């Protein structure tokens, strides 16, 4: 079932249908319809205005942001890119977010690719391979979503810091943690999608002498591409927007902190510097917004397949 | 070689290459096992496909969770057993009452308000001409991080003294109406509600998408029959729409509750947990990673876990039931 299914064939629910209605009912439903549209419009505006205001503000000169509301921009437009220049490439105390943007990217790409590959393979083990105890183990993996990330943070952190690997590879703990935390949901979703692939397809290939590796690579992967895409978007947004894991495993190490951690810190330490905060916030949401808007269809698909994330 | 070892992108590429090599080796093993080994070949395939994920889960999630439970009975440095002391502290420290109170307010208000708004909106825009666009607008905050959303709303709530020109949208509106400006984020206890509004802003889109799909799945013949019977909009909503989408409603409510229980980003970004806005998840983070008390931090993590269990159990049961119904 797709969210886009609502092709506007019936433009007006309340006024269509039942032909034998009295003028009074018709009038009433028309009013109800108007009120309904007005309510929807109000909600839509409430949901959009805050982000819109932030975007406008980020392009206003510092003095203007601090002395007048962003809505005055339309009477007295003054446009500047200085805030972005400052927050991205300026002094360290003004954010230097370009570095953190790169950190977020360096964290997010492996933390999306690795769990996705592992989860796809695990989904194959849980849906195509037949072994004793399979269903029980699968339920166990699914149930791991109960465990809040908070439960795993301290021991995992100790494990990494005692391994000595963080010195040469500081990002390792973030990559691995994100990969692990993604697995229960990703395995569950991909297993659901994979179970929908007709069994005959796999069996026919097996009869023809294809091994599991070729069934996996030649049959499953192409068929699963849309499902993998939807889980990938999920994971990408999750990792990019995450604060808890980023903050915990990068500690106070500014060299590897993600954008979210830096921004949260700036919101505290430079809470009144709205020229930096507005531009900074936009730097952090621009990439997920683009991904989200261009791939919304897949995202919705993943969402509808059921999601609970620890 | 220096590029791979000493630059960020280099390390990123290195880990991806190493990972690809590992997967290639594993698949090669499975491929070889498929041809030559007779008896153990099924287990070889299982080990290759399921092994890595299961191993990571065991080392990275199951073991740490058990270890956290263990640590919650020990002192700050995990040297001496202290019995239930950390749990008693979790429940009785000076901030505990406020943290628990706020957490419960969050978990009560966010799911209900988000679901209600999402449901109303889904019904209102259903089959309208601009449905797709309208949905995207409500859905958009889902792509924004809690930190980003925190800053967006901090700006909306921004307060200036009455003598100054307001730059926050809400206070500008309030003063325009002729009232005194409000310190939204500082004045307890109402400030918690204004933080909660941010979470509702993010979660309503999630509720809307799920419920909208559920509404579209309601069989049209039922709706047609009801309409021929002259049922009005409210009756249609109460007697037909809500009962038909009940399972989805439950899933949405519980899923949002779980997410809300673990929220700490919004509080951290917007008030830094000051002004009586502390919540359990943020307190856990502070004790574990700011004050370095692993015992108390672990006990708080366990407390969150205990609060989550009934919600998740209910959610899973509901999902299993839906699956059974849908076939």
Please give the model's pTM, rounded to 2 decimal places: 0.85
In this structure, the answer to whether residues A107 and A60 fall within a common structural domain is no
Do B205 and B142 touch, CB atoms closer than 8 A? yes
Higher pLDDT, B186 or A106: A106
Three-state SS for B74?
strand
Mean pLDDT confidence for A86-104: 85
In this structure, the answer to whether residues A224 and A291 fall within a common structural domain is yes
Please list the residues that pair with B81 across neighbouring strands: B74
Asked if residue A9 has pLDDT above 50, the reply is: no
Q: Does residue A14 belong to any structural domain of this protein?
A: no
Domain holding A112, by residue range, is 97-304
- From chain B residues 113-142, the ones with a CB under 8 A of any chain A CB are 117, 120-121, 124-129, 131-132, 134-142
SS3 string of chain A?
Answer: CCHHHCCCCCCCCCCCCCCCCCHHHHHHHHHHHHHHHHHHHHHHHHHHHHHHHHHHHHCCCHHHHHHCCHHHHHCCCCCCCHHHHHHHHCCHHHCCHHHHHHHHHHHHHHHHHHHHHHHHHHHHHHHCCCCCCHHHHHHHHHHHHHCCHHHHHHHHHHHHHHHCCCCCCCCHHHHHHHHHHHHHHHHHHHHHHHHCCCHHHHHHHHHCCCCHHHHHHHHHHHHHHHHHHHHHHHHHHHHHHCCHHHHHHHCCCCCCCCHHHHHHHHHHHCCCCHHHHHHHHHHHHHHHHHHHHHCHHHHHHHHHCCCCCC
Q: Does residue A288 belong to any structural domain of this protein?
A: yes
- The string of pLDDT tens digits covering residues A120-148 is 999 999 888 888 888 888 888 877 877 88
Domain harbouring A279, CATH code: 1.10.3720.10
Q: Does residue A92 belong to any structural domain of this protein?
A: no
Please enumerate, as own/partner, the contacts of B81-85 that have beta carbons within 8 Å and a separation of 24 or more: B82/B295, B85/B295
- The string of pLDDT tens digits covering residues B48-96 is 899 999 999 999 899 999 999 999 998 888 888 888 888 998 898 888 8
Of B35, B230, B301, the CB nearest to A150: B301
Closest Cα in chain B, distance from residue A141 (Å): 8
Residue B124: list chain A partners with CB under 8 A. 36-37, 39-40, 43
> Which residue intervals of chain B are DSSP H helices?
2-6, 8-35, 41-57, 63-71, 85-92, 96-125, 131-139, 146-157, 169-176, 190-216, 220-228, 233-235, 242-244, 246-261, 265-270, 280-285, 294-326
Asked if residue B2 has pLDDT above 80, the reply is: no
Q: Compute the residue count for chain A.
A: 310
Quote the number of domains for chain A: 2
Mean pLDDT confidence for B118-131: 86
In this structure, the answer to whether residues A292 and A236 fall within a common structural domain is yes
Do B172 and B236 touch, CB atoms closer than 8 A? no
**Residue B38, class by beta-carbon neighbours within 10 Å (0-12 exposed, 13-18 middle, 19+ buried)?**
exposed
Q: Where does a domain end: A61, A87, A113?
A: A87
* A3–B212 CB contact, under 8 Å: yes
Q: Is the torsion defined by CA of B112, B114, B116, B122 positive or negative?
A: negative
Q: Does residue A310 belong to any structural domain of this protein?
A: no
In this structure, the answer to whether residues A114 and A253 fall within a common structural domain is yes
Q: Does residue A10 belong to any structural domain of this protein?
A: no
Residue A300: list chain B partners with CB under 8 A. 209
pLDDT attached to residue B153: 92
Residue A50: list chain B partners with CB under 8 A. 152-153, 155-156, 169, 201
Residue A144: list chain B partners with CB under 8 A. 57, 61-62
In this structure, the answer to whether residues A164 and A44 fall within a common structural domain is no
Q: Does residue A233 belong to any structural domain of this protein?
A: yes
A65 Cβ under 8 Å from any chain B Cβ: yes
| Chain A interface test: which of B143, B156, B232 (most A C-beta within 10 Å) | B143
In this structure, the answer to whether residues A183 and A273 fall within a common structural domain is yes
Do B141 and B205 touch, CB atoms closer than 8 A? yes
Asked if residue A13 has pLDDT above 60, the reply is: no
In this structure, the answer to whether residues A64 and A102 fall within a common structural domain is no
* A243–B309 CB contact, under 8 Å: no
In this structure, the answer to whether residues A41 and A106 fall within a common structural domain is no
Do A304 and A234 touch, CB atoms closer than 8 A? no
pLDDT class of A29 with cuts at 50, 70, 90: low
Chain-centre distance for alpha carbon B227: 38
Do A212 and B47 touch, CB atoms closer than 8 A? no
- How many C-beta atoms surround the C-beta of residue B57 within 10 A? 22
Give the count of Cβ contacts less than 8 A between chain A and B: 357
In this structure, the answer to whether residues A80 and A120 fall within a common structural domain is no
Do A283 and A259 touch, CB atoms closer than 8 A? yes
A287 Cβ under 8 Å from any chain B Cβ: no
Closest Cα in chain A, distance from residue B205 (Å): 9
Q: Does residue A9 belong to any structural domain of this protein?
A: no
In this structure, the answer to whether residues A252 and A117 fall within a common structural domain is yes
Q: Where does a domain end: A65, A87, A109?
A: A87
ipTM exceeding 0.95, yes/no: no
pLDDT class of A308 with cuts at 50, 70, 90: very low
In this structure, the answer to whether residues A57 and A110 fall within a common structural domain is no
pLDDT attached to residue A12: 38
CA triple A160-A165-A167, angle to 5 deg: 105
Three-state SS for B145?
coil
Q: Does residue A195 belong to any structural domain of this protein?
A: yes
In this structure, the answer to whether residues A36 and A107 fall within a common structural domain is no
Cα end-to-end span (Å), chain B:
55
């Amino acid at each position: 079932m797709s969210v886009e299914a609502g092709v506007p064939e019936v433009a007006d629910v309340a006024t269509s249908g039942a032909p034998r209605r009295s003028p009074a009912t018709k009038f009433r439903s028309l009013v109800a319809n108007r009120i309904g549209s007005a309510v929807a419009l109000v909600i839509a505006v409430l949901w959009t205005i805050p982000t819109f205001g932030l975007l406008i503000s980020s392009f206003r000169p510092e003095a203007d942001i601090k002395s007048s509301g962003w809505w005055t921009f339309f009477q007295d437009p003054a446009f500047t890119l200085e805030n972005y220049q400052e927050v991205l490439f300026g002094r360290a105390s003004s954010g230097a977010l370009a570095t953190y943007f790169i950190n977020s990217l360096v964290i997010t790409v492996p933390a999306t690719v690795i769990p996705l590959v592992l989860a796809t393979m695990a989904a194959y083990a849980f849906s195509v391979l037949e072994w004793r105890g399979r269903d029980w183990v699968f339920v166990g993996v699914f149930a791991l979503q109960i465990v809040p990330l908070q439960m795993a943070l301290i021991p995992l952190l100790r494990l990494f810091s005692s391994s000595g690997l963080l010195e040469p590879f500081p990002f390792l703990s973030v990559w691995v943690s994100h990969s692990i935390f993604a697995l229960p949901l990703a395995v569950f979703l991909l297993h659901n999608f994979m179970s929908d692939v007709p069994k005959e397809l796999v069996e026919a290939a097996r009869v023809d002498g294809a091994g599991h590796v070729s069934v996996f690579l030649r049959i499953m992967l192409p068929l699963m591409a849309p499902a993998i895409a939807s889980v990938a978007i999920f994971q990408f947004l999750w990792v990019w927007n995450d604060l808890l894991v980023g903050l915990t495993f990068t500690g106070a190490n500014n060299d590897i902190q993600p954008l979210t951690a830096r921004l949260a810190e700036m919101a505290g330490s430079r809470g009144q510097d709205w020229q930096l905060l507005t531009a900074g916030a936009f730097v952090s949401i621009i990439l997920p917004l683009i991904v989200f808007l261009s791939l919304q269809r897949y995202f919705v698909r993943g969402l509808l397949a059921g999601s609970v994330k620890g | 070689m220096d590029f791979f070892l000493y630059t960020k992108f280099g390390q990123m590429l290195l880990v991806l290459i190493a990972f690809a090599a590992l997967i290639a080796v594993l698949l090669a093993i499975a491929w070889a096992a498929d041809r030559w080994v007779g008896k153990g070949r099924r287990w070889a395939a299982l080990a290759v496909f399921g092994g890595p994920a299961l191993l990571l889960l065991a080392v990275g999630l199951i073991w740490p969770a058990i270890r956290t439970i263990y640590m919650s009975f020990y002192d700050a440095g995990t040297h001496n057993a202290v019995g239930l002391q950390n749990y008693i502290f979790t429940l009785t420290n000076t901030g505990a009452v406020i943290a628990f109170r706020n957490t419960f307010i969050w978990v009560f208000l966010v799911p209900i308000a988000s679901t209600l708004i999402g449901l109303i909106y889904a019904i209102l825009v259903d089959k309208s001409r601009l449905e797709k666009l309208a949905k995207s607008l409500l859905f958009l905050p889902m792509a924004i991080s809690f930190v980003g959303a925190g800053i967006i709303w901090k700006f909306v709530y921004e307060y200036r003294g009455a003598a100054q020109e307001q730059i926050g949208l809400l206070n500008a509106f309030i003063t325009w109406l002729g009232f005194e400006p409000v310190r939204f984020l500082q004045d307890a206890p109402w400030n918690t509600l204004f933080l909660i509004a941010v979470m509702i802003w993010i979660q309503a889109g999630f509720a809307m998408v799920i419920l909208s799909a559920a509404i579209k799945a309601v069989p049209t013949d039922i709706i047609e029959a009801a309409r021929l019977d002259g049922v009005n909009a409210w009756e249609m909503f109460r007697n037909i729409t809500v009962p038909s989408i009940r399972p989805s409603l439950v899933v949405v409510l519980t899923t949002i509750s779980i997410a809300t229980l673990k929220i700490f980003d919004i509080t951290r970004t917007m008030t830094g947990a000051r002004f009586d806005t502390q919540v359990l998840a943020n307190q856990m983070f502070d004790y574990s990673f700011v004050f370095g008390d692993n015992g108390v931090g672990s006990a708080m993590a366990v407390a969150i876990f205990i609060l989550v269990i009934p919600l998740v159990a209910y959610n899973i049961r509901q999902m299993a039931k839906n699956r059974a119904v849908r076939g």
